[in-house]
Amino acid sequence: MTAPDDFEIREVSEDDYNQLDMMLAELNIQEQIYYPEHPQLTRAEMESITRGSARKTFVGENIIFGAYSGQNLVGFCWCIVYDPGTGLEAEIAELYVDEAYRGQGIGAALVQKAVEMFSHKGVSFACVWTRESNEVALKAYFAAGFKPTRQTVLVWYPEIS
């Protein structure tokens, strides 16, 4: 699908960031009503948060917690923490426990450590992706406070030729 003839689609320039900030605030105001479990912000609060938020680059960090048995790393929880301009967000990118150490609560302990770090840093949104059939991981995520979302998650993968 292409844009109508009377529109031009191009990258937003820095000169237009003030307009972009106002549109982002409006988007967030309109959308927040669908998530009553999240703090509902006033327009002034939203404008304060979104002002200057949408920029070309942002900074994030990888934080990886490890579970050790003696000197041996037997599991890890890889977390990504970043601020895309709308508040500090996080993701548990990977969770893995060596097969020989599974069933001992190590995964749950790693996820709990991640959630504690998210809370300490003031993360406003954190997510994790896993298969519905990964019951052990789901149990660890649910125990740490993760919940299924009401959002529809769609993915795009490049076609392999």
Residue 66 is predicted with a pLDDT of 94
CATH 3.40.630.30 fits domain 60-143:
yes
**Integer Cα distance of 24 and 18 in angstroms:** 10
Residue ranges per structural domain of the chain? 14-50, 60-143
State pLDDT tens for residues 48-61. 877 877 777 788 99
DSSP the chain: ----TT----PPPGGGHHHHHHHHHHHHHHHHTT-TTSPPPPHHHHHHHHTTT--S---EEEEEEEEEETTEEEEEEEEEEE--SSS-EEEEEEEEE-GGGTTSSHHHHHHHHHHHHHHHHT-SEEEE---TT-HHHHHHHHHTT----SSPP----PPP-
Q: Which residue has the higher pLDDT, 28 or 102?
A: 102
pTM of the complete model: 0.76
Cα atoms found within 13 Å of the Cα of residue 144, Cβ hemisphere only: 26
Residue 2 is predicted with a pLDDT of 59
State pLDDT tens for residues 94-125. 999 999 999 999 999 999 999 999 999 999 89
State pLDDT tens for residues 121-160. 999 899 999 988 999 999 999 999 999 988 888 877 778 7
